Each structure stands twice: as structure tokens, then as C-alpha cells.
Amino acid sequence: MEDKKKYNRRDFINSSFRVGIALGLTGIGVALTRRAIAGKSVWQLDPSKCVQCGRCATSCVLETSAVKCTHVYDMCGYCDLCGGYLRPDTKDLNTAAENQLCPTSAIVRKFVEEPFFEYQIIEELCIGCGKCVKGCGAFGNGSLQLQINHKLCVNCNQCAIARACPADAFSRVSASEAYLFKGFVKGKK
Amino acid sequence: MKQKLIIGLSLLFLLVVIFLIGRDLFTNRENNQGNPTEYNLEKLRKIDSSLICYREVRHINPSLGVVHALAIDSSSNIYIAGDNEVQVFNKSLQKVNTLKLDSSANCIAISGDILYAGIGNHVEVYSTKSGKQTNWKSYNSKGYITSIAVNETNVYVADAENRLVFRYDPDGKLITVIGKKDKSKGIDGFIVPSLYFDVALSPDNELWIVNPGKHELINFTENGGFRTSWGVASMQPNGFAGCCNPIHFCILPNGKFVTSEKGLDRIKLHDQSGKFECIVASLSDPNTQALNNCSIGARIHDLAADSKGIIYVLDASSKLVRIFEKK
Ligand code: SF4
Ligand code: SF4
Ligand code: SF4
């Protein structure tokens, strides 16, 4: 009869150590894989779900939100009386600050030819409040749309705005298709 | 004793920290904050009820998944276009016919038993008795037909992409192109920022066309000569709101105009000279109707009136034809 090998304390410590290393390595592997997968996806908001509640301006972890208004020019009517640029019932259709809807004057109006105007967003001034988006959606073609700007977004594990969004407009999207525009142009900024 | 106090205080501190962390994790205080930059459209949509001079008396539910266009013939039969079909209701609101179309019509017009359907860049002609007759040649491939008005001698076709109105004879021969930009003659052309561009004929066969980017209705001769115009831009009921309005209009037997706007979803009555008279309905006034479900584009997809001046409104949101009579 063979002697049963004694399993002493040293053996126990040795095997625990090995199991610990194996579990640790597996954990690191899983974490790295998850990170690699997460690295390929970014947060984005779906403008067709957005109700312009204002939280994109106030809930981002950055001091000034990474969400900005973007202009889908292909959809724009280049209107003189732009519902996204001018306050309702503005008397004169000009660039005076009191006529502008944007609280930070982040939209620039440029004359193209009578009676058409082009509207450009100054990203540094835009706080992502969505006021212009609401005006353009109601009275115009909806060519002004909110989007997370990926040059600014730090891609938090859990986007703080996604947690606050009442419209469930946020999701992770592939980094290669990082912008979601509604209307007739997709992925074009 | 002192040790117990320290342990007790530490536990209390720990509980407070756990509570604060938990509150931060599981509640969302942002949701309870107001919106400091709110753009309150509901205020603009509110209508003084003393201005409302019509009331909704009935409606037609055509049970169509989507509604595109509306027309009424001289016998007050009501034609409602949905995807690939047109349903016909008599004046008692009974369904009497269904016409199958090759495609979905964006606009329709009826003259006798001939139905003209604006489909993409061209007009298709259907007999209400024997179905498809012919396709008319499109002006060019990029066109988008948004409105048709017809009388015994002319068929006027509004094309929002080309920003032109075409006058055809009933056999589809192009006679006149109206609204071509010509700087040498001072003709600016139509300003059509979105795909809403309407044309209608008055009971006296006067041709009226909307210039939506200029917030005006223009009266032309049948050869496209300018006669007169009316309309101003304003959020107030006496004007047209937003970048491009009105989106639809029709003319009552007494020559008064009924207009509809996107954005504020107002339907208004104007006298024969265009002066605002009263509100027919405001579909998105929170006090009078359900809220607008269309985030972009118009809730009102078409307007029509019958020989008695009853107004029919094609409501894209509820997929109903709402019928309004004077109060
Ligand atoms: S939080 Fe959501 S609903 Fe609010 S503005 Fe941002 S995307 Fe739109
Ligand atoms: S209104 Fe708000 S979202 Fe629009 S450009 Fe100005 S700051 Fe940006
Ligand atoms: S992921 Fe972070 S940085 Fe990006 S928008 Fe959301 S909260 Fe802002």
C-alpha cells in the first residue's frame, strides 16, 4: 500500500500562491480585454431621441460640456429668419445680441446671397444647451443637432449625462462611426 | 468608556459617509433641477381662446399607417392618400372607394373622375373608375412635387426642389414655368427652405402660390405674371412664424384663405385681402389639443375645404382628418 503523501502547510501556501497568481493574471487579462473593447466604443447621443432638456450643458464631468451643437449643412435651408439663431418675435433680422437665441452667442451668421445666410457654430463658446436645436427643430429643418464632440470627451466609463438624460438618448457606439446625425446625412460633420 | 465613544462616533461617521455615497450613486439630483436655458415653445403655442372661431365637429379615421395628402371633389367626396393608396369617403363620411397607386403620393388633386398624384419628381394620372392612366414626364430628375391645383383647363404643379410651379394642360403638356429666377427682370424666384410649397386656385380660378421663405402668398396670372401678394413674418397670429410658413393653404368658396403653419401648428382664417380674422384651430396648444408628437416637420399634412366652407385638416400625428365648422 502506497503511503498517502502528506499535504502540509508549505504545500498549501505554495498552491494558494499559484492559484492567486493565476487568478490575478486572468483578472488582468480580462480587464485589458474589456479596456481594449471599451476603447473601440465611445458615448454618443441620438438626436432623434433628444428632447433638449438642457442637461447636456449641466451634467458633463468637464467644466464646459463635451456636447456641442453641430450643423448638418445638407439639411439647412440657409434661412434669413432662422428659428435656431433668432429669438421669437425679433423685430429686426440682424446680428444684435438681443436678437440672438443662443445664450453664449456661439452661432455666427454669414450672408451668402440674397436672401440666404449660413450659420456656423463656434465650438469654444457652445455649452451644449440645445436651445438652438429646439428652435431649428420646431421652425426649421432640424439641421442643428447636439452631438458629443470626441475631441473633447474623455469617454468616461459611465457618461454622467447618460445617467441624467430623461430621453435615454445616450449609448455606446463604435469609435469608427462616432457621430449619429438624424436626417439625410449620416456620420458627416 | 472613552473608547466606546470613539467607536460609536466612528460608526456614525461611517454610516453618514455610506449614506452620502449611496445617495450620490443611486439618486440623480440633476433630474430635479430646472433647465436654466429653457426655450419654452409652449408659451408661444398658447392661443387666446377668444380668437378661436371654428370648432372640431367630426373626424375621419382612414386607418392608414401614414397619411400624406388630402383632396375634396365638387361633390364633397374626401380623398385621403396613404402609402400606395387613396381612400375615398362620401360626404356622410362613409368609405366608398379605395384607389391603388403605384407609389405613395405626396399630394393629390381631383377634377371630375381624374385624380392627379404628385409622386416624387412627376405627376401620375388615375381614373377613379378604371385606375392608372398615365405618368407625366418630369421636368427634371431632381424634382419633388409638393402640391397640385386643378381646374378644367389647367393643372398647376408645385415642385419644391426646383422651386418652380408648372402649368400643364389636362393632357400633361407643359405650357408655362412660373417663378424662374431672373435677376435682369427683378424676379427673385421662390424661397423654399424645406419641402413645403403649396399652390391653390380660388373659386374665381385665381392662381395663388406660397413663397414660404418670404412668409407670403402671391397671386399670379396663369402665365406667371405677378399680380399681388400678402403676408408678414411674425410669431403673433396675424403673421407667419418661423423660417418658412405657411406650409399649406386652401381657399374657401367666399374667397377667404385658410393657412396652416409648422412649428406652432396653427390653422388660421384670413379675409380675401389676407388680413388675419381668427384661429381655426391650434393643434399643439397645450390647452386645446394633444401635444405635437412630430419633433421635426409639420403635424398638419394638408388642408382642404368643401363647397360649404367646411374645413378639413389632415393631422399626421393622429392620422385623422379633423373636420372644422364655424362656431
Ligand atoms: S440630456 Fe438627453 S434629452 Fe437632454 S439635451 Fe442631452 S441628449 Fe437631449
Ligand atoms: S444655443 Fe446652446 S447648443 Fe446652440 S450653439 Fe448656443 S450654446 Fe450651443
Ligand atoms: S463621457 Fe464624460 S466627458 Fe464625455 S460627454 Fe459624457 S460626461 Fe462628458
In which band, very low, low, confident or very high, does the pLDDT at A125 lie, cut at 50, 70 and 90? Answer: very high
Sign of CA dihedral B168, B173, B175, B178: positive
Q: How many Å lie between the alpha carbon of B61 and the closest alpha carbon of chain A?
A: 26
* CA of A144, nearest ligand number: 2
Q: For the sheet with B199-201, list strands across it.
A: B199-201, B207-211, B216-220, B226-230
Backbone Cα Rg of chain A: 26
Percent of residues, chain B, with pLDDT higher than 70: 90
Are B296 and A57 inside 8 Å of each other by CB? no
User: Is the distance from CB of B221 to CB of B227 less than 8 angstroms?
Assistant: yes
> A24: Cβ–Cβ under 8 A, 6 or more apart, which residues?
none
Neighbours of B37 (CB within 10 A): 19
* CATH of segment(s) B44-326: 2.120.10.30
Mean pLDDT of B284-295: 45
Mean pLDDT of B167-189: 90
> B203: Cβ–Cβ under 8 A, 6 or more apart, which residues?
B251, B253, B254, B255
Are B37 and A53 inside 8 Å of each other by CB? no
Beta bridge partners of A118: A110
Rounded distance, CA A103 to CA A57, Å?
Answer: 12
Are A129 and B37 inside 8 Å of each other by CB? yes
Closest ligand 1 atom number to CA of residue A170? 7
Answer whether A106 touches B (CB < 8 Å): no
Distance from CA of residue B102 to its chain's centroid?
Answer: 24
ipTM reported for the complex, 2 dp: 0.72
In which band, very low, low, confident or very high, does the pLDDT at B125 lie, cut at 50, 70 and 90? Answer: very high
Alpha-helical regions (H) of B264-320: none
pTM for this model (two decimals): 0.80
Atom 2 in ligand 2: which residue has the minimum CA distance?
A: A129
Q: Where are the domains of chain B?
A: 1-33, 44-326
Rounded distance, CA B298 to CA A139, Å?
Answer: 9
The residue type of B234 is S
Answer whether A103 touches B (CB < 8 Å): yes
In which band, very low, low, confident or very high, does the pLDDT at B294 lie, cut at 50, 70 and 90? Answer: very low
Q: Three cell numbers at B100?
A: 391603388
Region of residue B120 (phi > 0: left; psi between -120 and 50: alpha; otherwise: beta): left
Answer whether A61 touches B (CB < 8 Å): no
* Entry field: residues in chain B: 327
Q: Which helix (H) or strand (E) holds A26?
A: helix A9-39
**A53, A70, A129, A145, best to mutate for ligand 1 pocket (most atoms within 8 Å of CB):** A53
Q: To probe the interface with A, which of B29, B35, B39, B41 has the most A CB atoms within 10 Å?
A: B39
Answer whether B194 touches A (CB < 8 Å): yes
Whether the per-residue pLDDT at A145 is higher than 50: the answer is yes
Whether the per-residue pLDDT at B186 is higher than 80: the answer is no
